[in-house]
């Protein structure tokens, strides 16, 4: 590891959140894996909120003469924000993110780094993936759902071991819990993303339980990412489809109630369906109008929105003009 930041080739960011392992043990494992890459590197630990036990382990390593950077956030902001805070302190052209616990074998870090150059993003794909049948099924449903709404085919979005070209994280701003979908957002921006098969660490075992709240938050995150990936520059398609669908359902309900009263003598006023249909008829145009406002906002700021990347540029010399005789 080099002391001069200008000579650093790799910047390794370790966001420390709720799930974590022993800091001393983890550091030594990561250091062994990074030394095998044979590139100069720096390590940056970002403490997302108060992490007293982990901070004590880092102080022990510093007392032993180890060199790394520690960033302490004032409170818990989420892993996405922690990664952005780490990037501000990073100086390498290749950014490696590693979880604060054993997720992959440290010897597999080299595979991720070697893929940068051929690709802009290398995300770990743990194989063979351990877990109980329920966990396997849950992961399968999650990735199929993400694949369906984003049209991006990735297999292990939960893997925190990733390597990026620096410009990827400079173009994409993360916040909250969007770190899981970083590769999806990168592909949307036109970057080349590659899943790299890596060996899962035998220590990678989730002992807790996923609460109903966790599933609800994950579902909301998927909806958010789907909107960001597919409808950022065309919000009318998103809100318009929902608005038109809502209005049509309301119109059908009103038609059904009207036919029931005219042909079968069923009163409309005493039926809850009348209130529901009226609500849908009023909500549909409002959603459609919201989509139009979004379109106007995108149109106004279109010049400042960049959703493409230039792979390379070839410049030709100026043409030599012929002198007219």
What pLDDT digit, counting tens, does each position of 223-252 carry? Answer: 777 777 777 667 777 777 888 888 899 889
pLDDT confidence band for 322 (50 / 70 / 90): very low
Q: Number of C-alpha atoms within 13 angstroms, CB side, residue 137?
A: 3
User: Quick one: which H or E segment has residue 238?
Assistant: helix 235-264
CA 9, CA 245: separation in Å to the nearest integer?
Answer: 52
pLDDT of 207 strictly over 80? no
Nearest to 19 by CA among 59, 60, 61, 48: 48
Whether residue 15 is preceded by a cis peptide bond, meaning omega within 30 degrees of 0, is no
- Which pLDDT band, with edges at 50, 70 and 90, does 272 fall under? confident
Higher pLDDT: 23 or 296? It is 23
The residue assigned the tokens 């892993």 is 79
Q: For residue 267, report the phi and psi dihedrals to the nearest 5 degrees.
A: -70, 140
> Residue 316 above 60 pLDDT?
no
- Cα distance between residue 106 and residue 129, in whole Å: 16
With vertex at residue 102, the alpha carbon angle to CA 201 and CA 52, rounded to the nearest 5 degrees, is 165
Residue 286 token pair: 């409002």
The three-state secondary structure class of 140 is helix
Domain ranges within the chain, ordered by starting residue: 5-129+155-201, 235-304
Q: Give the whole-angstrom CA distance, residue 225 versus residue 149.
A: 9
C-alpha R_g of the chain: 26
4, 244, 293 from 282: Cα distances, Å = 63, 11, 17
Fold designation for 5-129+155-201: Spore Coat Polysaccharide Biosynthesis Protein SpsA; Chain A (3.90.550)
């Amino acid at each position: 590891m080099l002391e001069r930041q200008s000579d650093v080739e790799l910047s390794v960011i370790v966001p420390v959140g709720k799930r974590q392992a022993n800091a001393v043990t983890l550091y030594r494992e990561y250091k062994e894996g990074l030394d095998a890459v044979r590139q100069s590197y720096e390590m940056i630990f970002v403490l997302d909120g108060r992490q007293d036990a982990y901070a004590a382990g880092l102080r022990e390593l510093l007392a032993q003469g180890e060199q790394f950077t520690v960033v302490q956030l004032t409170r818990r902001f989420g892993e996405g924000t922690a990664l952005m805070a780490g990037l501000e302190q990073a100086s390498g052209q290749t950014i490696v993110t590693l979880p604060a616990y054993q997720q992959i074998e440290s010897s597999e870090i080299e595979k991720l780094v070697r893929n940068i150059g051929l690709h802009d993003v290398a995300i770990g794909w743990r194989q063979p993936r351990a877990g109980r049948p329920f966990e396997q099924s849950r992961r399968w449903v999650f990735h199929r759902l993400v694949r369906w709404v984003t049209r991006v085919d990735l297999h292990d979005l939960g893997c925190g071991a990733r390597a990026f070209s620096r410009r990827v994280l400079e173009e994409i701003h993360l916040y909250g819990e969007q770190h899981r979908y970083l590769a999806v957002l990168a592909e949307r921006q036109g970057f080349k993303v590659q899943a790299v098969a890596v060996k899962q660490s035998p220590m990678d075992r989730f002992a807790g339980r996923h609460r109903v709240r966790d599933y609800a938050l994950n579902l909301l995150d998927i909806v958010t990412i789907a909107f960001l990936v597919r409808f950022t520059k065309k919000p009318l398609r998103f809100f318009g489809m929902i608005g038109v669908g809502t209005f049509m359902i309301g119109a059908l309900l009103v038609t059904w109630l009207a036919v029931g009263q005219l042909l079968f003598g069923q009163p409309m006023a005493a039926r809850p369906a009348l209130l529901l249909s009226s609500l849908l008829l009023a909500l549909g145009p409002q959603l459609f109008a919201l989509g139009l406002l979004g379109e106007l906002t995108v149109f106004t700021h279109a010049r400042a929105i960049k959703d493409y990347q230039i792979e390379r540029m070839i410049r030709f010399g100026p043409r030599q003009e012929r002198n007219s005789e």
